[in-house]
Amino acid sequence: MDLDIPGDLSNGPSVVGGVEAAGHLVAWHNDICSFNNVEQSHGDAQNLVYSRAATVIRLLLEWSFG
């Protein structure tokens, strides 16, 4: 697709924010869908689900045991 979008529009905060949000959405979707297949069995810390779960468990342990 060959689009000629002015720089002030394509680099504006709405477009940049939308592109970043779309990237996060794709990454989360991939990590959620693949969590039980590959990452969990290999302990892939790059998986957002795995890393967030580890953070929550660590915070709960700190809260429980001070």
31-61 pLDDT, tens digit each:
777 766 665 566 656 667 777 777 777 788 7
What end-to-end distance do the CA atoms of the chain give, in Å? 56
The b/e string for 17-31 (b: 16+ C-beta within 10 A; e otherwise) is eeeeeeeeeeeeeeb
> Largest alpha-carbon pair distance within the chain?
59
Mean pLDDT, the chain, whole residue set:
77
The pLDDT of residue 66 is above 70: no
Identify the residue with better confidence: 20 or 57.
20
Question: Please, what is the Cα angle at 55 between 50 and 42, to 5 degrees?
Answer: 25
If one counts every other C-beta atom within 10 angstroms of the C-beta of residue 41, the result is: 9
In three-state secondary structure terms, 28 is: helix
